Structure 1
Amino acid sequence: DLSEFEILEEFFDTAGGEAWNDNSGWKSKTVPFCNWFGISCTKNVDGDDSVSEISLPSNNLINRVAPIVFHLPSLRVLDVSGNAVAMSFRDAHRAKNLEELNISNTNIASVKGVGGAKSLIQLSMSNNALYGQEIPTEIYTLNRLTHLNLSRNGFVGSL
């Protein structure tokens, strides 16, 4: 298994981190990752710092979000809204604590696998490239979901 530092490094590299509007601290060996721009941490059961939030809205992320991000054991919030990124949810089932996911205004063309993130309470995925698709039925299996934004996607079919 990769360390949280290594997971964040891969996230940075695959999302074009060098071109971000703000990448303060990222990949620094001297700045703890909890102090990197857009990262918040909590203490895990061992008392060590663990990433609980990645919040990088409209920060010029490009290319894609590495699916390995779902391997962060304490990740509770992921916000990559307003960035031109693609994303795969094949490892979403690994995100045991993910409660908030904001992927609005991105280049996401499929949310297949998002139903694996069973802890989701808020899912915002408005204004994406999902035109002509039906609302993925796996969203209906997210039993904890209290907030769902699917607007401006051009979905077809019935609820």
Structure 2
Amino acid sequence: DQSDAFFTVWEVLLSTLQEDPTFVDTTILASPTSTAHQTLNWMANSNHPDLTSMIAEDAQANVTRLLEYYAVVSIYYSLDGAKWNDKMGFLSDADVCDWHSSSGGVTCDNGHVVEVALGDRYMRGTLDPALYHLSHLEKWSMDMKYNYFRWFRGSIFSHIGMLSMLSELTLVHLRLRGAFPSELYQLTQLTHLDLASNGFAGRLPSEIARLT
């Protein structure tokens, strides 16, 4: 049986998660090895000071912050964080804004996650689409040269428009294939784009001029 806190966290997040296109079937919660289950279980039972306080005070009022924790913790579990060379403070008792090291991690501004940088060796797995719940994200960088990595279901770019504040995007050595992703045109704040060492084919479309 799960703790009351587990279901408190899930019920608060559920109403938000169900309204976006990356939502996955709730039946995955029945699997202890699923990223969603592991993430929610950690959030509910880790006794993390910040999470404990938010859940006890008013989980609904703190839904944005809870979603940020959910997204970042999902990165850890979906990419086999227990085996990272440098865990960058992930899952520590520190605030999520302090989950970083010289290898990368999370950076915040005004209490919200604005940057995620991942490049540690031995990341492996399938990145969870919960990343798209970082609604304040401005910078996202991943260098997967020395990792065993797959994207989540479908294209990485399918829902990237949800990151409406994204201004810098660096995705290198990810073995991406196909035509240049038109979904990037939705990122109206984008000023820096690096997709080096991938395998895109064809000509760059004229619409790329939409990017600032």
Q: What's the TM-score, normalizing by structure 2?
A: 0.56
The answer to whether the 8 A contact 2:143-2:174 is kept is yes
Task: State the alpha-carbon separation in 2 of the partners of residues 137 and 5 from structure 1.
Answer: 37
Q: Which residue, 193, 199, 207 being the options, matches 1:123?
A: 193
Q: Which residue, 68, 78, 86 being the options, matches 1:22?
A: 86
Does residue 1:4 correspond to 2:68, yes or no?
yes
User: Could you say if the C-alpha distance between residues 138 and 61 of structure 1 is closer, same or farther in structure 2, counting changes exceeding 3 Å?
Assistant: farther
The answer to whether the 8 A contact 2:86-2:120 is kept is no
Does residue 1:97 correspond to 2:159, yes or no?
no
Does residue 1:35 correspond to 2:105, yes or no?
no
Q: Report the CA distance between 1:141 and its aligned residue.
A: 5.3
Structure whose alpha-carbon radius of gyration is higher: 2
User: Could you say if the C-alpha distance between residues 138 and 66 of structure 1 is closer, same or farther in structure 2, counting changes exceeding 3 Å?
Assistant: farther
The answer to whether the 8 A contact 1:71-1:91 is kept is no
Q: Which residue, 202, 205, 209 being the options, matches 1:134?
A: 202
Q: Identify which range, 89-98 or 103-112, moves more after superposition.
A: 103-112
Q: Report the CA distance between 1:135 and its aligned residue.
A: 4.2
For structure 2, the residue ranges without an aligned partner over 5 or more in a row are 1-15, 17-65
Opposite residue 91 of structure 1, the aligned amino acid is: H
Q: Which residue, 62, 65, 84 being the options, matches 2:127?
A: 65
For structure 1, the residue ranges without an aligned partner over 5 or more in a row are 44-48, 145-159
Kindly report the root-mean-square deviation, in angstroms, between the aligned alpha carbons of the 2 structures: 2.3
User: Could you say if the C-alpha distance between residues 93 and 106 of structure 1 is closer, same or farther in structure 2, counting changes exceeding 3 Å?
Assistant: same
**Residue correspondences, number:** 136
Q: What's the TM-score, normalizing by structure 1?
A: 0.72
Identity of aligned residues (%): 19
Opposite residue 159 of structure 2, the aligned amino acid is: D
User: Could you say if the C-alpha distance between residues 24 and 81 of structure 1 is closer, same or farther in structure 2, counting changes exceeding 3 Å?
Assistant: closer
Q: Identify which range, 104-113 or 73-82, moves more after superposition.
A: 104-113
User: Could you say if the C-alpha distance between residues 15 and 114 of structure 1 is closer, same or farther in structure 2, counting changes exceeding 3 Å?
Assistant: farther
User: Could you say if the C-alpha distance between residues 138 and 6 of structure 1 is closer, same or farther in structure 2, counting changes exceeding 3 Å?
Assistant: farther
Does residue 1:80 correspond to 2:147, yes or no?
no
